[in-house]
Structure 1
């Protein structure tokens, strides 16, 4: 508690490294057998409570050792400032989860000279188990993937499927029915890699303009509808388009009873970062169903003007706007500033016509201010 994220990630990696040197036989809980398409697979489960105690004892030992001599810690060279806000809203339960790891290298012991940072948003349905599991395991599968250094795009995309397979085994064993959409962004040097399942989304703002990076997986997409029907499923309209009359997304982690119609095969893409990018935004459908991408630009600029260039509460402003626009769903918004918000604001003030929605964007940003002022009168 109170430790910098850089030091915390380095300590965790060192402690985990120590734990992995031991014989895990003493922590073995039971062997589980499951038949899958006629083949018998064996899985070993470990006693989580005793293993956790052992880990914390190792962590304490590492802390005592590092108090004597602290090893060198290398922070990110790239500027990153993260703003995150999430609310349950009017829903009975909060089923969203999010992960931000600007210390990805330290956590997984990657010692090359390449900066890496990982961000993800998960939007659970039918319970929180799938979202919890994905938020706990997806980045681990990415960090331990054999291609993480040479082909990070492949590592990210494949880790979605790996996480889905792992959770499906857990769901079968524990009779869990939940699922989760997910979107993740992995920054590696000057490259941005993204991958997603379902309708959680990531977008980019570059020089004041909204840039679409992906197309969410929804049942009404022609290619998704064709895939589902080819498997023997159906897409029907029941207040919105749904797979087999149930789920409003066509791909997700989990949803064991809707596989293979609900696919766990993620889509992905990669983009060059040139230095002109302002920020990334990852959010669930509770946000994107209420706020259009071009509106994000105005809202963030309006917030920066009011906050005098301080961006730490930008996500809070965006969540509030989605709620005001009628969203009743859980809402999670994660904003990753790739440039100093002070510089973003200064550039917009110098060149108002560079804003995202065209020549009217600058006036619309000021309209937010005038509307708020009128509301208080």
Structure 2
């Protein structure tokens, strides 16, 4: 059994509690432990939603659980006949051939949780082999609603991408993302559930992750626009994704959520956010017939303060879904990444963020547990009233980072 004895003990305790609390199998009339956001799903949305249902389990083996519970989805062997479909009812709707078949999400969720229960029963008898990825990226995450009425941020942490998707390659891969919703949380949830699934299914994924990331953003945008039309949603989300493959860092983004790289205590710029006052963005919008005007801040057509996003159907094509990307080779001297929404970066500079991390690591002998909490607090104390989400991904031993910072 790979992993520490403490991890194994924690996981066994989790299994005991899960099996004790869950009454399985779930029948047609039984409520599900976690209800999907939408009542209906398209075929393209099934895998992401199923992974999200399993991944909500907060234990260190959740990636392994996802990979074991949902393999038939990736193999295309799911028995769709078990999940009643909703078909267009009227003659006019029948003619809309582009409309996707829809599946009842609650019934799908029952199938997923029943399968999960079966797997947990088996694992109580014998735990699965679990290989911790090398390198293992230590992370610190914190997110708060702050002074906003609702929390519209979502984040995704996949330190072992290969296990989740059963990718058989010799190099380790990891995925981290922050999505900052506006006008509602639906777009951010959709992106958090589906962008990484869209990524792994791109033909270019193995050879060109940058192209695959940009294509995944585009497909996620197109998928949510269809969903928004079906469900009458009016919202969008910015997003920043970092994908680590061996010694290479791939970054893709839309809008003003950002990531920075810190190397030997110094900030390395990875990207430029998409804001309407960026000259190239302003020219693109005006060439399409839109305008950028000042209304408290620079806004597209006097409305949104970002120029690219997933969703925002009513503002397209001015608010486009085309992601930018960057590639950075890593040489082992890199300390960490900080991914965060604009609620953080609007009040904390990259240099100030590095100082906060450095001070915390030195004061706590390299313990990273509360690093993200410290960063979120620094933004709140500096006057941020927005939702705040921060992810810190350490690319080497935090104690080495502390030693470098002290020099």
TM-score by length of 2: 0.81
CA distance in 2, matches of 1:5, 1:152: 28
CA distance in 2, matches of 1:291, 1:209: 16
* 1:311 counterpart residue number: 368
Report deviation, 1:144: 2.4
CA distance in 2, matches of 1:22, 1:332: 35
* 1:369 counterpart residue number: none
* 2:218 counterpart residue number: 161
Alignment partner of 1:239 out of 286, 296, 312: 296
CA distance in 2, matches of 1:32, 1:71: 43
Structure 2 unpaired stretches of 5+:
1-10, 16-57
Report deviation, 1:71: 4.8
Alignment partner of 1:9 out of 48, 55, 63: 63
C-alpha contact (below 8 Å) 1:31/1:42 kept by paired residues: no
Report the number of matched residues.
348
Report deviation, 1:104: 1.3
CA distance in 2, matches of 1:160, 1:153: 11
Report deviation, 1:271: 0.6
CA distance in 1, matches of 2:78, 2:362: 55
CA distance in 1, matches of 2:88, 2:241: 31
* 2:282 counterpart residue number: 225
C-alpha contact (below 8 Å) 1:206/1:279 kept by paired residues: yes
Report deviation, 1:52: 1.1
Q: If each structure's strand is expressed as a fraction of its own residues, which one has the higher value?
A: 1
Q: Secondary structure at the match of 2:100?
A: strand
* 2:140 counterpart residue number: 83
C-alpha contact (below 8 Å) 1:81/1:312 kept by paired residues: no
Alignment partner of 1:293 out of 342, 347, 350: 350
CA distance in 2, matches of 1:149, 1:75: 22
C-alpha contact (below 8 Å) 2:199/2:216 kept by paired residues: yes
Report deviation, 1:176: 0.3
User: How has the CA–CA distance of structure 1 residues 32 and 149 changed in structure 2, closer, same or farther, with 3 Å as cutoff?
Assistant: farther
Instruction: Tell me if 1:22 matches 2:83.
Output: no
Report deviation, 1:318: 0.8
TM-score by length of 1: 0.87
CA distance in 1, matches of 2:66, 2:292: 45
